[in-house]
Amino acid sequence: MKIGFIGLGIMGKPMSKNLIKAGYELIVYDKNEAAVDELKQCGAQAALSSAEAAKDVEVVITMLPNSPHVRAAVLGEDGVLDGAKEGTVLIDMSSIDPTESRKIGAEIAKKGLEMLDAPVSGGEPKAIDGTISVMVGGKKEIFDKYYDIMKSMAGSVVYVGGLGAGNVTKLANQIIVASNIAALGEALTLAKKSEVDPKLVFEAIRGGLAGSTVMEAKAPMMLERNFQPGFRINLHIKDLNNALNAGHNVSSPLPITALVMEMMQALKADGYELEDHLSLVKYYEKIANTCVGESEE
């Protein structure tokens, strides 16, 4: 099967490579010529536009930063809609506002195209080894037909409902992750200010109800002062902004999300937007005048 793939960034590039490894024929497009050249070396064909990437393929996959980028790539000049034939399926694997997913889906449906919204979770390492989690919205029969394509890039592919449900699920994921990291930073700061070793606090509570995947991944990095990005603050700001917009659209208040968003905005103002989202601990360290990861005297 021939697939068009648009967006060869941190996630899209390894995901597209996994499709090639799985035996799919790819035609790829990105404004980053170096990324396109790298995929050409792996056997992909290069397109000069989104429209060209969507021409004569059964499926088009988009993996782009946010809603405006997806809208431009699909509905804009030389976009997917200009090149795709009737019956083409768009699988948008970007993390965007679910309201936009539904609007884009409605527009392409007018020309006989189908759409799945299929955002992913797991970050670059899991994109590289093909173990990302994919949460998918759209028609169930379309999901079933193209499940194998998505599974070739992922460890888990789960159907969650109609179009837009995938991005609602991803936003729920991002709310929970951000809130967990913030709570972890707050708790370890309390320990430090109380002259209790944060590392020992982590060891004591990790096996109880407070234990979580987030804690296991982020607490050691906080204690080691390792802020190398697995998922950057500025990207999480984007996701929480989409969550707040989605909540407002359906009158679902998100007070915790709003609070964590403002904490991240403060970190951005301090110049930490390109660091890992575990840098939320720095918000607490600043207002408490301490450092969670300092060595005990």
Q: Catalytic residue positions?
A: 170
Question: How far is it, in rounded angstroms, from Cα 180 to Cα 85?
Answer: 44
DSSP the chain: -EEEEE--STTHHHHHHHHHHTT-EEEEE-S-HHHHHHHHHTTPEE-SSHHHHTTT-SEEEE--SSHHHHHHHHHSTT-HHHHPPTT-EEEE-S---HHHHHHHHHHHHTTT-EEEE--EESHHHHHHHT-EEEEEES-HHHHHHHHHHHHTTEEEEEEEESTTHHHHHHHHHHHHHHHHHHHHHHHHHHHHHTT--HHHHHHHHTTSTT--HHHHHHHHHHHHT----SSBHHHHHHHHHHHHHHHHHTT---HHHHHHHHHHHHHHHTT-TTSBGGGHHHHHHHHHT--TTSPP-
Instruction: State the virtual CA torsion across 208, 184, 203, 287 in degrees, nearest 10.
Output: -140
